[in-house]
Structure 1
Amino acid sequence: MPLPSRCPFPLDSGAADIHGETAALRVLGPAARVVLPGGVPAWSVTDPGLVRRLLVHPRVSKDARLHWPAYLDGDLPSGWPLQIWIEIRTVQTAYGPDRRRLRRPLVPAFTARRVRDLAPRIEETVSELLDRLAEAARAAPDGIVDLRAHFAARLPWLTVAALVGLPETMYDGFQAVNDSVFETNLSAAQAAAITAEVARLCDDLIAVKTEHPGDDLATTLLDTHREGLLSDQEVPDSILMLLGAGYGTTACMLDHAVVNLLTHPDQLELAVSGRVGWEQVVEETLRHQAPVANFILRFPTEDLHDETTGMTFARGDALVINYAAAGRDPAVHGADAGRFDVTRATTRDHLAFGHGAHYCLGAELARLEGRIALPALFSRFPGLDLAVAPDRLTPLPSIIFNGHREIPVRLEGNPDTWA
């Protein structure tokens, strides 16, 4: 990608080259003016130090309804494809006391003990999915199977769907809209249709959980609503947020971990041999390929000047936190920051799950899934290999999630050994 000579820099709605884009933006400074898909102006914050300071700053809000003049004044384009991500009412779009209120009912499900208790279930799911992967490969005429669909995406989906309490009959419908709702190159009509389908599915789920409550997050949210602590909108919006965040981030992490290991056999050997722990593989993947490339949006509640960088943001400016850029910052990770290296000393110094009070609730669950899934996959299929050249993998058309549409692989070896 050619380096831009001036701002604002238009972000590619199809996200064909996220890291080429972030390298170009980094040249423009710690933050650069950009144009979001749909023609909306914003800042892209790429410097990890500045990212940290903005994430913990008490005068930076995520609530467009309170603090974004472009939204309040009706200046956004009609049918803006990213509108759902500012209108949704969840912990990810709230400010101050509202953020704490929306976060509170979710915290118990993600304590260290509760996450550890999920390990046996995740191990069982991984084993079942690997069986199905082998079956799919045997059934394919050319032996090629999509690892993302059958494994990297399916494991986190089954995990989060069970946590939320989806009936199995709703699994595929919700997964389909989650696969579409984060695409940032949608037309206004496509975005509206997906939003309507999300609302229908959430209404159906709420009706089911009202009639048949369970030990799950959907029931917890409904109980909290009955106590008057969540609004009618906040319940379905929180369900959508939990499903999307718990699914998309982990799916992209597993996706990139597998692709990186298959394209760097020396790194794979370090992990398989035990010379480097699988937790290190997970952390380097999170650094090297942040699953959330860009977090949309934050807004200063007053003019804000950062003394360290000299940057000034006006009250109500839209800020995009560019996690993909922060993870490859040369000042933190060295001149080879773009290289995947599981022995890197700074591997754990990343911001893929946020920072401070905004640290992702599901971070440890995602890590646990990675630590269980990756060694199981490469132990079961030691001959696993990409069926296409790495540069032929198609990125997800999303400036939000960083992953691939599919990962065609061959399991290789003797099928009798896959059982």
Structure 2
Amino acid sequence: MAVLDAPALTDPELLADPWHVFGRLREQAPVLRSRFGLSGDEPPIWLVTRYADVRAVLGDPRFVSDPASVPGGRDSRQEMMTAMGITADLAEYMTRSVVTVDGADHTRLRKLVSRAFTVRRVGDLRPRVEEITNGLLDGLAGAPQPIDLVEAYAYPLPITVICELVGIPEEDRAAWHVWGRDLVSTDPARVPGALRAAVDHIHGLIARRRAEPTDDLLGALIRTHDEDGGGASGADHGRGDRLTEFELVSMVLALVFAGHETTAHLIANSVAALLTHPDQLARLRDDPDLWPTAVHELMRVHGPVSITELRYATEPVEIGGVEIPAGAAVLPVLAAANGDPREFADPETFDVGRRAERGEGHLGFGHGAHYCLGAALARQEGEVALRALFTRFPSLELAVPPEELVWEPVPGFRRLAALPVRL
């Protein structure tokens, strides 16, 4: 089968409307060839667009996250890092983390933190999430209007929750917010400095925590590292329950960034969606028990992440009639899969009462071994934040016409630059 070429992931039309452009590509072909578009000499990547295929790739051990485990594979991630001005030593913190390693290493690292993100532990956090939420809403009530809900509400809630859970001091959280925005910008003028600052900050924080131990997740990880001999100081693999110094830093980096950036934009995107779909908001006001279901539907249609991390084929694999060669970089497209009419009835309709026929009913949090570690926490924060906001301020409205909302042109993300509202 001839393979169609798709626009680069930095194509302006795709950045402006990933849901519909990826949806159009999905109907053209199940597999297309593309590039990131960050440099002139990039290897092709293979976009997988249809729900069944995306789900299959994410659950198939023949597709791995680390190209180093594929003989002869070309590391597309390192080339992207170079295009963004990130040096090799810093790039490892992005490419050798719990999010991006495979097999025994992934199992070991995930096990070290998974207990903090179980449904039960997340449930225990709910009173604190509600307390933080109510405090933020109290602040909104007296603030000058219009209010940018991204900065005043959508970011402060998840960054406070994840920083308290991990152990990032309150006075450092504003810096993490800035570093997070810089890192996802893909701007070579912003990314390297933000990554260096975050890594240096974590090293300093670990030193302080060793001098003054704490009971948070960072304290527990430090004890795991120190009590079993400390492992290696570089990016070497740990063993059993061991954690290297490098892994300790990369774990904190991954948890804090992943734990607030995506959730913040899930909340902001959801507010914008509900304000522009008053019929669906009215259903939620009439039946608040729909909120957990609504969060899944919001994640399906208005989720903040439109693509996954790259996967690499360890052997030739056929998808949708196309043979993916060994070593090729494959990109499962969540936004395309979540709108696939082969899986969803009337997928273009945003329906807060949509019931899943299996699982969550979407792939917004991924699937398989790399399913989002913090999915339960993100769902809870989204539900608490949205329910409380619309309950406290029933007259909430956009302060600009919907077409004037500005979406940031960041490949792979759907995120508002600001969300101006009136209470």
TM-score by length of 2: 0.88
Partner residue, 1:149:
151
Cα distance change of structure 1 residues 32 and 268 upon mapping to structure 2, 3 Å threshold: same
In 2, Cα distance between equivalents of 1:31 and 1:192:
33
In 2, Cα distance between equivalents of 1:21 and 1:256:
18
Q: Is the Cα contact below 8 Å between 2:293 and 2:355 reproduced in 1?
A: no
- CA-CA distance at 1:78 after TM superposition: 7.6
Aligned partner of residue 44 in structure 1, secondary structure: strand
In 2, Cα distance between equivalents of 1:120 and 1:271:
22
- CA-CA distance at 1:387 after TM superposition: 0.6
Cα distance change of structure 1 residues 197 and 86 upon mapping to structure 2, 3 Å threshold: closer
In 1, Cα distance between equivalents of 2:111 and 2:288:
40
Cα distance change of structure 1 residues 220 and 71 upon mapping to structure 2, 3 Å threshold: farther
Aligned partner of residue 22 in structure 1, secondary structure: helix
CA deviation profile, 1:233-281 (whole Å, cap 9, x unmatched): 2111111110111112211211121111101111001001117611121
Cα distance change of structure 1 residues 75 and 268 upon mapping to structure 2, 3 Å threshold: closer
Partner residue, 1:390:
402
Q: Is the Cα contact below 8 Å between 1:55 and 1:356 reproduced in 2?
A: yes
- CA-CA distance at 1:407 after TM superposition: 0.4
Partner residue, 1:323:
334
Aligned partner of residue 83 in structure 2, secondary structure: coil
Amino acid at match of 1:207: A
Question: Does structure 1 residue 305 correspond to structure 2 residue 318?
Answer: yes
More divergent stretch after superposition (344-353 vs 358-367): 344-353
Q: Is the Cα contact below 8 Å between 1:292 and 1:352 reproduced in 2?
A: yes
CA deviation profile, 1:330-360 (whole Å, cap 9, x unmatched): 22223x4223211334484101111132221
Cα distance change of structure 1 residues 400 and 69 upon mapping to structure 2, 3 Å threshold: farther
Matches within 5 A, 1:11-410: 11-12=9-10, 15-39=15-39, 40=42, 41-67=44-70, 69=72, 71=74, 76=79, 79-81=82-84, 84=91, 87-136=94-143, 140=144, 143-184=145-186, 186-187=187-188, 189-226=189-226, 227=228, 228=231, 229-274=242-287, 277-306=290-319, 309-334=320-345, 336-346=346-356, 348-410=360-422
In 1, Cα distance between equivalents of 2:191 and 2:28:
32
Q: Is the Cα contact below 8 Å between 1:70 and 1:76 reproduced in 2?
A: no
Aligned partner of residue 275 in structure 2, secondary structure: helix
Partner residue, 2:235:
none
In 1, Cα distance between equivalents of 2:108 and 2:247:
11
Amino acid at match of 1:89: R
Aligned partner of residue 312 in structure 1, secondary structure: strand
Cα distance change of structure 1 residues 82 and 97 upon mapping to structure 2, 3 Å threshold: farther
In 2, Cα distance between equivalents of 1:87 and 1:373:
29
TM-score by length of 1: 0.88
- CA-CA distance at 1:382 after TM superposition: 0.5
CA deviation profile, 1:201-225 (whole Å, cap 9, x unmatched): 2222222222222222222222232
Cα RMSD between the aligned structures? 2.4
Partner residue, 2:8:
10
Q: Is the Cα contact below 8 Å between 1:182 and 1:400 reproduced in 2?
A: no
Q: Is the Cα contact below 8 Å between 1:64 and 1:93 reproduced in 2?
A: no
Q: Is the Cα contact below 8 Å between 1:79 and 1:192 reproduced in 2?
A: no
Cα distance change of structure 1 residues 121 and 35 upon mapping to structure 2, 3 Å threshold: same
- CA-CA distance at 1:310 after TM superposition: 2.0
Q: Is the Cα contact below 8 Å between 1:64 and 1:86 reproduced in 2?
A: no
In 2, Cα distance between equivalents of 1:79 and 1:344:
43
Aligned partner of residue 328 in structure 1, secondary structure: coil
Partner residue, 1:417:
none
Q: Is the Cα contact below 8 Å between 1:174 and 1:201 reproduced in 2?
A: no
In 2, Cα distance between equivalents of 1:27 and 1:69:
32
In 1, Cα distance between equivalents of 2:274 and 2:203:
41
Q: Is the Cα contact below 8 Å between 1:119 and 1:368 reproduced in 2?
A: yes
In 1, Cα distance between equivalents of 2:307 and 2:92:
12
Cα distance change of structure 1 residues 87 and 241 upon mapping to structure 2, 3 Å threshold: closer
More divergent stretch after superposition (13-22 vs 65-74): 65-74
Amino acid at match of 2:277: H
More divergent stretch after superposition (380-389 vs 313-322): 313-322
Q: Is the Cα contact below 8 Å between 1:332 and 1:346 reproduced in 2?
A: no
